[in-house]
Structure 1
Amino acid sequence: MDSFNRGQLLLVGLPRSGTTWIAKLIDSNPDIVYRHEPDTEFRMNVPVIINSDDTGCEQLISEYCGNIFNRKGVRVCGKQPFFKKAYFNLFTEQLFRISVLVAKLSSRVGISSKIIEVINSKNKKAKLFWKSIESAGRVGAILKAVPDIKVIYVVRSPYGQIASVIDGEARQKFTDTGSSADDYGFFEYLLTTKLARDRGLTMEHVVSMTKLQRLALRWLLHNEHALTEIDKSPHGAIIIRYEDVCVNPEKEAKDIFVFLGLQWYPQTKEFLSNKTDEDKYYSVFKSPINSMEKWKEKLTAEDVEVIDQVIKGTKSASLYGVV
């Protein structure tokens, strides 16, 4: 559907920043056509960090975003829970759900299968929405390349995000078996950002840091770059704190919907009320408050001080009262 090439919606943030929960909150709207992390399965052919003075990426990004609707892999279209959609009828909804089940079963034996998704073309309210944890460093370039896109950038406190990464690596929840603190190849990209250049940071500085300091620096450089780029396109993007959504989910959700031009339906309120205290790492039904404060069980006061020393004096840090 060519109409989905215009007016796209994007939610982006660092891994372990609550993006999946907030994305599903938005997906609970009956008019949303959701694509879950398409740029993780179908890679963009552009750098993971793009600075404002970089050239040659806009056309590639525009073409990529223009094809997101057609990404119908099971990982991209099959992220549960599913919600009632206004653009499905009873038959097309069941066809979609059955095709997801078949695709998941097929993938277990190495067979790739596309999802069958028949959208009522007469429904003019349907909006394409995708979520990314790969493109935080590309936000500015995406806003330039797709001028009518609306972007929500999610920031989670450094303590919560770092503690969750450490926990996930200890529990082997990630496909990458190495520690993100030791991903020096990615730090090479981060060192090209304005803040890193202003501070004169080099790979020697990075290598000399402890793992906790490197995780804090990764949080800082990635978020600071995104916030700086968003400042240049204030009308196409908003910044939200994960913690604010946890504390007052319905109010924050309604504000997000207003920005995205979405109507409020009871289905979203039902999703927000459907939570448990289960400790499933990727669950979207955990208690938001418990998830928000879980880092306090993982990090010591000394750990917090180490993180604060790395991030202080920046816009990202000021979001959490660190000056």
Structure 2
Amino acid sequence: MGGMGKSQQSANPKTIMIFGSPRSGTTWLGKIFDSHPQSHYLHEPEIAQPTQVPVFPPDEALAISQLTTDISSWLNARDVRTTGTRPIIRKKGESAFHHALRQANIYALKGMERLIPSMAMAGPVLQPPSKARTLVVIKTVNMLGRATLCLQAVPHLQGIHLVRHPCGQIASILRGIEKFGERFELSNSALPYSPMGKREGLSSQDLAHLSPVEILAWKWAAFNDAAFQSLSDSDRAIIVSYEEMTCDPLGSVQKMFTQLGLDWVSNVEAFIRASSEGAEHDSHYGLKRDPRLAALRWQSELSADTVQTIEAICRKTAVGRWAFSLDTGEKTDDMTINTPSLPAG
């Protein structure tokens, strides 16, 4: 089955945090890491245990101190929303009976959640044995504005910034709004306080006159910009293009594992192959789909005017110019992406 090498067999597992916007492939990437038999996957723990740190923190020292506490708490989460995402994967050292019991525990709580939504935060959920755990992965779509400070708060933490093309991400959100109605997707009160908002002089009055597409473009640009500017220069973070990942899922994830100092295992390869064989129009939140078709779906959905509107806003940032340069094949000198072989410890 393979492992992570003797350097990883310690009481302090490697900890990785996946940052990205909603509808950017972060859940798929998170479950790919979850398919490793020695990993422990935490799905958006900041939902069950919200941080008090503002989206774009004005006081970095105070934010770092609070995030140190928050992340420590998230690492011990046992609620079903955080630790019960499906598929439920059997881990190294977990007996068939224990795995079946854990599945029953999770499915029972998921069933109760349909009747009582607050059960999503309930616990404790039965957890796999921790003795063989050498990797912990936290996946979040709410921490881009605080990504840099998360790495400062936990010195051994490594980061992955997953960037989906803005048109693909926005088209996916618009599909969700059409299907489920608008919930929080267009909330935007934090935008003027973002680094991009401050650079561009964005005000609350300006936001009141923006269309939904313009708001979504500003959100993609402002949040990804906040993480990209600093993480791209960090020796503890890598930037990953979702579109490039969908072109070659197996090769892309193998490269990621190498950069993060992880050994390759057959379980991960099997999961990637199985999750990449779905149909083009699988369920909105499904994991089993053809990722390349999903990534390019926006090209047949968005009008030329809509794409132009999104591009004009996103190109105000280095991450936007980078994303559109990957799409068009143009060369850009805005940013050299740092993708080092990160330290194994």
Aligned mate of 2:315, from 309, 312, 317: 312
Name the structure 1 match of 2:110. Answer: 104
Contact 1:152-1:238 within 8 A present in 2 as well: yes
Specify the code of the residue in structure 1 equivalent to 2:237: A
Name the structure 2 match of 1:261. Answer: 261
Q: Deviations along 1:65-97, whole A, 9 cap, x unmatched?
A: 112232111111111112231142333222222
Contact 1:230-1:237 within 8 A present in 2 as well: yes
Contact 1:103-1:114 within 8 A present in 2 as well: no
Name the structure 1 match of 2:164. Answer: 156
Alpha-carbon distance in 2 for matches of 1:87, 1:65: 26
Q: How many Å apart are 1:321 and its aligned residue?
A: 3.2
Gaps of 5+ in 2: 1-9, 326-331, 333-345
Gaps of 5+ in 1: none
Q: How many Å apart are 1:288 and its aligned residue?
A: 0.5
Name the structure 1 match of 2:95. Answer: 89
Name the structure 1 match of 2:179. Answer: 171
Secondary structure of 1:56's counterpart equals helix
Contact 1:77-1:115 within 8 A present in 2 as well: yes
Contact 1:11-1:154 within 8 A present in 2 as well: yes
TM-score (norm 1): 0.89
Alpha-carbon distance in 1 for matches of 2:94, 2:254: 24
Name the structure 2 match of 1:129. Answer: 137
Aligned residue runs from structure 1 range 140-289, under 5 A: 140-172=148-180, 177-178=182-183, 180-181=185-186, 183-185=187-189, 189-231=190-232, 234-274=234-274, 275-277=277-279, 278-289=281-292
Specify the code of the residue in structure 1 equivalent to 2:238: I
Specify the code of the residue in structure 2 equivalent to 1:99: N
Contact 2:171-2:302 within 8 A present in 1 as well: yes
Q: How many Å apart are 1:150 and its aligned residue?
A: 0.8
Q: Deviations along 1:194-238, whole A, 9 cap, x unmatched?
A: 222122221222222222112111111111111123245x11111
Secondary structure of 2:208's counterpart equals helix
Specify the code of the residue in structure 2 equivalent to 1:197: K
Aligned residue runs from structure 1 range 48-59, under 5 A: 48-50=55-57, 54-59=60-65
TM-score (norm 2): 0.84
Alpha-carbon distance in 2 for matches of 1:272, 1:102: 28
Specify the code of the residue in structure 1 equivalent to 2:203: T
Aligned mate of 1:72, from 65, 74, 78: 78
The structure-2 alpha-carbon separation of the partners of 1:179 and 1:143, relative to structure 1 and needing over 3 Å to count, comes to closer
Q: Is 1:22 aligned to residue 29 of structure 2? A: yes
Q: How many Å apart are 1:242 and its aligned residue?
A: 0.6
Q: Deviations along 1:225-256, whole A, 9 cap, x unmatched?
A: 11123245x11111101101100111110111
Contact 1:31-1:127 within 8 A present in 2 as well: yes
Name the structure 1 match of 2:339. Answer: none
Q: How many Å apart are 1:193 and its aligned residue?
A: 2.2
Count of paired positions: 310
Alpha-carbon distance in 1 for matches of 2:232, 2:262: 24
The structure-2 alpha-carbon separation of the partners of 1:120 and 1:178, relative to structure 1 and needing over 3 Å to count, comes to closer
Q: How many Å apart are 1:11 and its aligned residue?
A: 0.6
Name the structure 1 match of 2:5. Answer: none
